[in-house]
Structure formats: structure tokens, C-alpha cells
Structure 1
Amino acid sequence: MLFLISIVYIARCDPDPSDNKFWQNMAIKRILQYESKRMTKMYEKEMAKNVIIFIGDGMGISTVTATRILKNQLPILKKIQEKQNSDEMNDENMTELWKKLQQSEDGSLSFESFETVALVKTYILDSQVGDSGACATAMMSGVKSNFETVGVSGKVKLNDCLATMDPMVRVSSIIDWAQQQGKSTGFVTTTRVTHATPAALYAHSASRYWESDDRMIMMMKTVNRSEHNEWNSEFCKDIARQLIEDEPGKNLNVIMGGGKRNLIPKNDGQRQDGRNLIDVWLDDKKQRGLTAKFVSNSEALRKLDTDKIDYLLGIFADNHMSHEADRNDTIEPSLALMSLKAIEILKHNPQGFLLIIESGRIDHAHHLNNAYRALTDTLALDDAVEHVVQKINKSNTLILVTADHSHVFTFGGFPARGNPILGIDDQTSDSDKLAYTTLMYTNGPGYRKLRENLTEINTIDRDYIQQTAIPKRWETHGGEDVPLYASGPSSEIFAGIMDQTFIPYGISYATCMGPMEPLFFIMSLCFQQQFHQ
């Protein structure tokens, strides 16, 4: 029977990568291969009730490795600094701390103990190296799309507003699928809530940059109006309005992050249409008889009685939230706190929930060649994973940790064991005899025409900008595969090397929701047949 199903689905495969079904059929083929192996092992069928996806924006393998080492080194380096400042340092203390530093490569991040590990291909439809918008669309909707578009198929080119008016190009996401299944949904991010990665969950836009109507108006002033004479703000809504006014955005139970400026009028924000979308959100929930709350700082979030609400909008910064290294805890909550509060609300639903948690500013620090902030933001993600895993029911919750793309961030040289990961190699260049850092970038603003002598520079400082080989104002993404870590029901389906478009279909299958729901039931029948033979 499984053989016949395989023939039917493979026959349906469309060879056109710009067609939405192309990537879905690829996912079906992978699931059939997976189930064929699993049936021979006589595993019982499992279904995930809840799904939590952690996204480290720009968290490539080199970032994960460097963060793992930094996690172990930071407390030791702080002790060394404290003892040096207090004149308590002696040879015995130094020897003890040095031994601990030499073991810093042996530790692990919280998610590195997950039972399933994979590599994910991140190329997009029109580029070998993807951006967050198109990569997030692949990860949330299972469709390859074009550079800097969100929530649309490959039929839509960048800035082609009119093309998005066709409902057929607006791809559904895992948020849609979960809501249709009756699950609660939400996301938390350290970026603006309208930024590229979260936008792919709920919006359909020919440009990831159309977060507010001011950016769309600016675009209209710079393009040939004759080509856009049918442009209408009611059809081509900015991303913020789609979040607050349209499905599935307005049905999200939890929305937390930064980006207040895109939600309020131009006197205090950037909106040109005079709308206060925070008020619109509150009014919508009131009219529908829903219990909702808006919060804007850490204290309000901590004190929030989550048993009394089912909808939460938390906006904690005008722009992006601060990097973890700069965060004021009285104003901006940690990623871990936002995640835990989100779960407290979402778990009210007996049907289960879907939650996306993004540490989005890893990416921004990498773009500026600032390794310290990139790694400490990755540590914040690690901390959030650790807290969440302790909170949830592992037996019915599928957890994924992955990245949308990588960065041209390198970890090299021949530093000795225990060498500070943010420090310099203990060897110098054999060409110019100058020192170099273990962590560097291929390109970006850290380029220097003349190499500097690093022996007098504190490369561990949070503001230090790593050196690069090629000058660019903004460091680029990397095109290599990114890691994925999975735990929970059906997590083994995510093992191996996969295309990014498989992730949402794998989730769909593991939860029996969305486009893979029929296949789930077909395979369940196959299992029953197999077990009764």
C-alpha cells in the first residue's frame, strides 16, 4: 500500500520550482521515505499537540560553536577580572582558572542535547544566499520565494505590489494551519514585530521593508507611477496593518517584541495614515468579547496574571529591542521571560498551541561585525530554550531550534585550548607578523586598509568590531547549510539534510494539521494494517 501511495504522489510532482506544489510534493516524498523506514522498525504513531520553534536569526554553525565556548568561558573570565581588580590574583588562583578555561570547549548549549540534529539548505528561488524574508517564508510556509519578499510565492518579484493582489500567490503559513485546527498561536521576537522573520508568519508583501505605510508611500515616490497606477493601500496593506487587521495576524493570541513606531501615528511614530494600531488591536478584542491586555515594559509583563487573559500584545521598544548585552531589565524583558509568559497564555487551549520564538538581533550584530553581541544574543536564545524545556510537557510538544540563514562569520587560526574565544590567536600571521582574532568575518564594516596591532586592543570588549577581508558597509549572509535541532514527538522526521521548505510540512505532518493532515491519516491506516499482520 505504501508503494502505491508513493507512486501517486511522485507522479503529481510539478517540475516548476516557482509552483507552490513543487515544494509540498518534495516534502511528501521525504515523509514517505521516512515512514517506510519507520514502519519496518514498528514504531508507534505519535502526534505532537504543541509546537515551539526557536529561531536564531543568522545563527550559523560557527555562531553556535563560538557561543558554546563563550558560555563556558564568560563566568571564568569574569572571575579573573574580579580578582585582578581586587588584587587577589596569585599563581595558584591563575592555575585553577586556567585549567577551567582549557575545558571550555567541552560544554554544550541547552539544545545540543536534543535527540535529532539536521542540516538545512537555505538558498532561495532567485539567490544562492537568502535573506530573512524569503528564508522565513520557506521555513513557515514551505515555499521558495524571491529575495526580500515575505509570505508570497515565487510568482511575486521584489516590490511588485500589484502581483500580491492575486490570492493565489499569498501562501498560507503554519500559523494559518494551527488556527484552522483550533490551536492557540503566538510569536515573540527581539526585533520589531513587523520585521522579516515574524512577518512571514502572517503577512503577504512584495517587500519585507513595507512594515509601515510610510515605507510604501516612499516607494511610490521613487518608482514610475504609471507602472503602479492601480496601487491601493486597501489591497497592498503594509505589514503592520496585516498583523492587526487581517487573518491570521489578528487571531494571534500572543504578539511580543519591539517596533512601536510602525503601529502608531507619525507624531510619535511613523504611520502616515493616522491609525493607532495598538488601539485598533484592543478595540477588535473588545468587540469580539475576548480578554486582552497590552503591556509595554518588563514590570507589567512580570505582574501580568496570565490566567485572566487569552490575548496579549507586548511592545517593549520603539524600534528593535536592545541586544542582550545592552538590555535594561526594568524596561525590556528577556527572551526567556517573554517565552514563558507566552506559554502560560497559550497552554489554556486544550487543543494545543504553536509558538515561534526568535532571537532576532544575532543577525544585526553579525551585520556590524560585532561578534560579542551576536554571541551574547545567542546565549539569550540558549537561556530561553533551557527555561522553556523545563516548563513544557515534553511528551506532547515538538521543539525545533534552527536558523533562517548563516553569516560569513569565521572561527579559525590555531588558538590553544582555553584561549578566550573573543581573544587573539596565540600565534601571529606568518606574513605581516601581526596578531589576529580567532573570530573574524569575510566582509563588512570591520575592514581596515592597514592591519592594526591587536596586542594593545581589548578584543573582548562588547563594542569591538572584528576585522574583515572585504570592505562593505553591511556584512552579508552566508550561504552554507544551517543546523536544526529537534526534540519531542516525531522529531526524528527532521533528521539528515533537508531543504528549508520541508520544515513546515514536517510540522504539519507531526501535528496532523494543514496540508499534511490527509497523509497523516493515510499513514496511520498503513501502520494499523502493518501491526495487525
Structure 2
Amino acid sequence: MIRSFVLAPVLAFVASVAVPAMVLAQVPASASANDPYYKAGEAALARQIAVVPNTGKAKNVILFLGDGMGISTVTAGRIYDGQQKGVDGESNSLAFEKLSYSALSKTYSHDTQVTDSAAGITAIMTGVKTRNKIIGLTGAAIGEKCETEKGHSVETLAELAKANGRAAGVVTTTRVTHATPAGAYAHTAYRDWEGDSDMPVEAIQGGCKDIARQLIEAPDALRLDVVMGGGRSRFLPDGKEVGKRADGRDLTAEWLKAEGANSSYVTTVDQLKAIPADTRHVLGLFAPEHLPYEVERPVLGQGVPTLAQMATSAIDVLSKNPNGYFLLVEGGKIDMGSHLGNAKRTLTETVEFSKAIEAVLAKVDLKDTLVVVTADHSHGLVISGYAARNAPILGLAGNEGEPILAGDGKAYTTLMFATGPGGPEGADTRRDPAKEDVDDIDYHQQAVANLPSAAHSGEDVGVFADGPQAFLLRGVVEESYIFQVMRHAFGFDAPKKR
């Protein structure tokens, strides 16, 4: 065999030799011209050539955060989406994959190789990497240590937007006090201090506030205009409806009083649709805890708006501010499906996330609106060979229609997790997925190591963007850099440490 390092100088020499026009004319016609892949590539090239970087300033910035949405989840999600639509899944594209610019984001936190959502959203929303479990504070703060909060708060992009006369909001499929949505407004040494009943006595006595209180008690000039998701229990007193607050306070009533006229507190999709046209502030708490998974909507989701409905309603309200707005939209249950080791939930949530992005893109003008889509971290989902083209992505790996058997004589699924509930327990032998209903909504994909909740993973995640200054999101970047691009697009000065 001739080694490549021997051929390289020869090929370089041949390439440098001028080829007479007559010889070029004798080159036979290539089959490439009629090949569908080749033609699709030509069309994609033409689209990219036509893209002109938008160097203007953004009136609005919308950040879509697919929690736990790693590259494998995006790939599997696009295939699943296509197969659900009856088209070729492998060549399908999710809504955000069609945006003009993309990059990879390095997601490690201040203290770990693999970040959690608290540190991840802090990096994206403040430009500062911090420790896992911590929200809105520098890495000098220590997890669960109330006394370390003082002097280490960092301003979020939502707070900067409010301080500069814009509106700001958060929409999520989780509790609105959960790590990612809290990253827009909270500053806490522990992400799980969502309500006062979640806090130890010494933290309360030390002057630390639970996350729900921080949302409601923010200064008028900084308080979010729109908040939608779940988590009603953290706002209501114990004994009232689903309330869990130990301090006896009804934070929903306090929010309405603080916001005054043109404000709406809603708990159902019908109420959301019926808010007055002049509404400028909305608190929508549509479930006691997290919102239900989309696969559960027929049973548990009655009266609960979709992510697309919440996001578009939020834009309708926020856009009443003539100066513009910032909006964070989280597909939070993508992550939760993966923690369960349940790929069907992961993929259906990814598709719903894409639908929300599609709905928003239909409402906004990318001439003055920067749209950024990314994830805070990845998950241990893998896509293993060698299923046939168009084979169900939730099915078995195979070759020419026959399942591929592993060394133990059993089949394996195309999608698996590194860790999670699907891992072997003790000396148990591996289950045979060929004898299981792998399409069941409660099926746990197999994993290498058994954990009650699958662990995050640390590889880079995708960033997809379009609109003013989106061209700055390219290459491999730090997760905290995403904040800098959004801040620059708004034209804001660098924030000051509190």
C-alpha cells in the first residue's frame, strides 16, 4: 500500500500543473449533476452564499434553551420528527437547524467537567461561569452556603434589559422557580431553594430568600413582565389549593398588587387566551409542579398551554413595549426525559421545542430580533449502528431488516444511554429489547451503568442563531460567550458586579 504521506507531495504537484482547456473539454459528463445529494448540496451552498451578516443592533433578543439537548438529541429528534410526519427523518431538519449561523458551546462549569443547569444558565445569562448548584453568583460563592451569597451577585441579561427600558420574560415547561428559568432573575447559593419550605432554617435566618420570593420581590424596575410555566405550589401558602409555603404568604396576590393595572394572573390555557388586550404583565402558573410531558397531554395536559402557545402569548405581551424585549423560552422537559432514560419523552419534547421555535419565528422579524437556540448541557444519549435508513429511531439496531445481536446473543436499541434507570442491577443479565415494547411511552432505554437518574454529559452542545449580530456565533465558543453576543446585540454596556 502506498502511504498517504507519500502521495501527498505528488498530488500537490499534480494540482499545481496547469491543465489545458482542450483536456478539460474532454472530461466526460459526471453522474453527480443528477444525483439528489449533489443537487441538495448545490442548493444549500446557494443559500449560504446569499446570507448577508446583519450588523445592526437588536431591538429584541429571544433565547431558546433546550435543557439537556445535546447533539445526539438534536439528531435523534430530527429523525423522530421526520418519521412522525411521514417524511425522510435522516434528511429532515428541525426549525432551529435552518437558522443561518451555528457554533459549538463548551459547557464545563467553574468547578466541574460536566455542568448542571444552574451553572449552565448562569454562564449563558450573565457571562460568568460558576459552580454547580449556584444561580446568578460568581464562582466565589459556595453551594448551600447562604453566607457566601453576599457580594457575589452578577446581573442577568433580563435584568440588563429591564434596566435599559425593555420588557423581559421567561417561559418554561418546568416550575418557573426551577434552575433554568430562575437563571433570568434569581441569585442563590442553592438551586433547590425554590420555596421557603425547601430551605433550611439557618439559610432563612441568614437572610437568604427563596427563589419564588426573589421573583415577586424584585424591584419594580427589574421585575419580569411575563412569567409562564409550572410551580404554583411555591407561590401559595400551605393549606391553600396546592400551596407549600410555610410563611403563609400568597405570592400570587402580592404579585398582582405590585404590578397593579394591566396585569393578569392565569392558571389555565383558556384564561391565557382571554387576557385583556391591554395586558402588560402576566404571571401564568399552569401546574402545581412541572408541566406534564407532551406524551401525557391527553390525560394530564387538559387546560395546560403548549410551549408554543406560551411563547407566542409572551411575545404578544412583551412587544407592547416600544423599546423591545428579552425573552427566555425553555424546553425544560427534554432534560427530564433523558434523566428518566426515556428516549420517547426526550424526543417528543425536542419536537415540541422545535414547534415553539417555528411558531415564534413566524411572528418576529429577524431584521431586528436576535434568536439564539442552544442547550445548557448534553446528556448521555447515544445513537448506535446500524439500523437501516428510515428504520424507527426508537427501534432496534439492525442490518438489512434483521436485528444485530450483541455478544450475549441479544438485540440492542438504536438509542441508548450511558447511565440511567435502564442500566443493569447487580448481577442481573441484560434485558433483551427484542422481547420488549421499545415504543412504549414508559420504556427505559438500556444503559451501561444503573443510576436512578441519568447523568448529564460534558461534550459541546450546538448553538443556532439568526438576526442582528448572529454572525458572531461561529466556531467553538465558551458557554459564557453567548451572553456577550446577546449583550452586544442589544448594545448594552458591560454589567457591574453588585
**Between Structure 1 and Structure 2, which shows a larger proportion of helix residues?**
1
The one-letter amino acid of 1:292's match is S
| TM-aligned CA deviation for residue 324 of structure 1 | 1.2
SS at match of 1:373: helix
Q: Structure 1 residues 233, 184: closer, same or farther in 2, change over 3 A? A: farther
Specify the alignment match of 2:77 in structure 1: 67
Specify the alignment match of 1:7 in structure 2: none
Q: Structure 1 residues 487-496 or 422-431, which shifts more? A: 422-431
Matched ranges for 1:371-520 at <5 A: 371-426=343-398, 427-448=403-424, 449-515=428-494
Matched ranges for 1:206-245 at <5 A: 206-217=189-200, 220=201, 231-233=203-205, 235-245=207-217
Specify the alignment match of 1:180 in structure 2: 163
Specify the alignment match of 1:339 in structure 2: 311
Q: Which whole-Å deviations, capped at 9, do the CAs of 1:332-358 have from their partners, x for residues lacking one? A: 100000001000001111101100100
Q: Structure 1 residues 513, 324: closer, same or farther in 2, change over 3 A? A: same
Matches of 2:118 and 2:301, distance apart in 1: 29
Q: Gapped runs of 5+ residues in structure 1?
A: 1-41, 77-99, 221-227, 518-533
Specify the alignment match of 1:318 in structure 2: 288
Specify the alignment match of 1:5 in structure 2: none
| TM-aligned CA deviation for residue 43 of structure 1 | 7.2
The one-letter amino acid of 1:444's match is G
Q: Structure 1 residues 450, 174: closer, same or farther in 2, change over 3 A? A: same
SS at match of 2:417: strand
Matches of 2:221 and 2:130, distance apart in 1: 21
Of 107, 117, 121, which residue of structure 2 is paired with 1:136? 121
Q: Structure 1 residues 43, 397: closer, same or farther in 2, change over 3 A? A: closer
SS at match of 2:191: coil
Q: Which whole-Å deviations, capped at 9, do the CAs of 1:17-40 have from their partners, x for residues lacking one? A: xxxxxxxxxxxxxxxxxxxxxxxx
| TM-aligned CA deviation for residue 249 of structure 1 | 9.1
| TM-aligned CA deviation for residue 329 of structure 1 | 5.0
| TM-aligned CA deviation for residue 456 of structure 1 | 2.7
Could you tell me whether the CA contact under 8 Å between 2:174 and 2:231 is conserved in 1? yes
Matches of 1:233 and 1:352, distance apart in 2: 39
Matched, 1:191 2:191: no
Of 252, 257, 260, which residue of structure 2 is paired with 1:283? 257
Could you tell me whether the CA contact under 8 Å between 1:202 and 1:248 is conserved in 2? no
Percent identity, please. Answer: 40
Q: Alignment RMSD, CA only?
A: 1.7
The one-letter amino acid of 2:263's match is A
SS at match of 2:494: helix
Q: Which whole-Å deviations, capped at 9, do the CAs of 1:103-151 have from their partners, x for residues lacking one? A: 3211100111111000000000110000000111001011111111111
| TM-aligned CA deviation for residue 235 of structure 1 | 2.5
Matches of 1:122 and 1:250, distance apart in 2: 28
Q: Which whole-Å deviations, capped at 9, do the CAs of 1:54-79 have from their partners, x for residues lacking one? A: 01000000000000000011244xxx
SS at match of 1:74: helix
Length-normalised TM-score, structure 2: 0.84
The one-letter amino acid of 1:260's match is R
Matched, 1:296 2:275: no
Q: Structure 1 residues 462, 436: closer, same or farther in 2, change over 3 A? A: same
Matched, 1:274 2:257: no
Q: Structure 1 residues 204, 261: closer, same or farther in 2, change over 3 A? A: same
SS at match of 1:46: coil
Matches of 1:455 and 1:129, distance apart in 2: 33
Length-normalised TM-score, structure 1: 0.79
Q: Which whole-Å deviations, capped at 9, do the CAs of 1:70-89 have from their partners, x for residues lacking one? A: 0011244xxxxxxxxxxxxx
